[in-house]
Amino acid sequence: MSKFKIIDVKRSIFEDNDADAARLREELKEENTFLLNLMSSPGAGKTTTLKRTIALLKDDLKIGVMEADIDSDVDAQTISETGVRTIQIHTGGMCHLDADMTRQGIREFGTKDLDLVVLENVGNLVCPAEFDTGSTKNVMILSVPEGDDKPLKYPLMFSVSDVVLINKCDTLSVFDDFDKQRVKERILAVNPDAVVIFISAKTGEGFEEWIEWLKSSINKYQNSKEIE
């Protein structure tokens, strides 16, 4: 018989965070603020995609952005140039945001007058997907140069994302081993409900479909009494 007690800390942390995330979703629903959690690996194009998205939406929606990084304020500086309300969150060395960190940012930020708040999560293909931030929807970006095998190697983020944006499609002629049909099949094998949209944040390719999905989701959320 063992003389020591074993505590499953990881499970406890996730359970507590999930409960906190559910409470945060309820709070955001009360003020009708749509929180979009945007995830990807470093360099996939989150900030560039976000800049083009803001340009296409800011005349119709009140938008705010919370930038999360281990350190620096480079992305916050970039996004602030779009004219939307911006705040920088430093994670103190952690490679993700959880519900409590998100709430702290929202408390400082103020979201009651905003239709859409985008949380640009820390650039990492694993850790951010492990923690529910309390977001309304999760979106991730996979860039063409990363390869079409990533849904097989890092399935968790794909499995929790409502939309997967395949970015940098303007480079397909260079990265000609990237197969669009194959990557879509691999994503849907992990998450049959995922919406897969091929885009280029540089040229604007595919943004009409992406913006249509986002506007529709926000409209449905704001006109429903139910939490997404």
At 1-24, the pLDDT tens digits run 556 554 444 556 788 899 999 999
Separation of alpha carbons 129 and 127, rounded Å = 5
Both structure tokens of 149: 């095998």
CB 151 within 8 A of CB 189: yes
| Residues 6 or more apart whose Cβ sits within 8 Å of residue 37 | 119, 121, 128, 133, 135, 137, 138, 139
What is the reported pLDDT for 96?
79
What is the reported pLDDT for 12?
62
The answer, yes or no, to whether residue 223 has pLDDT greater than 70, is yes
At 14-56, the pLDDT tens digits run 888 999 999 999 999 999 999 999 999 999 999 999 999 999 9
CB 195 within 8 A of CB 188: no
Claim: this prediction has a pTM higher than 0.75: yes
What is the reported pLDDT for 7?
45
At 143-179, the pLDDT tens digits run 999 999 999 999 999 999 999 999 999 999 999 999 9
What is the reported pLDDT for 213?
98
Across the beta sheet with 137-143, the strand order is 85-90, 63-69, 116-120, 34-40, 137-143, 163-167, 195-198
